[in-house]
Amino acid sequence: MHLDTTDTPLAECDTCGNAYDKTFTVEREGRVGTFDSFECAVQFMAPECAHCGCRILGHGVESEQGIFCCAHCARHESEHDLVDRA
Same structural domain for residues 51 and 85? yes
Whole-number pLDDT of residue 78: 84
Domain hosting residue 77, numbered range? 47-86
The model's pTM is: 0.71
Residue 6 domain-assigned (yes or no): no
Separation CA 66–CA 40 (nearest Å):
23
State the total domains in the chain.
Answer: 2
- Secondary structure of 11-70 in the HEC alphabet? EECCCCCCEECCCEEEEECCEEEEECCHHHHHHHHCCECCCCCCECCCCCEEECCEEECC
- pLDDT tens sequence across 35-84: 999 999 999 999 999 999 999 999 899 988 899 999 999 999 888 888 77
Band (pLDDT 50/70/90 cuts) for residue 6 is low
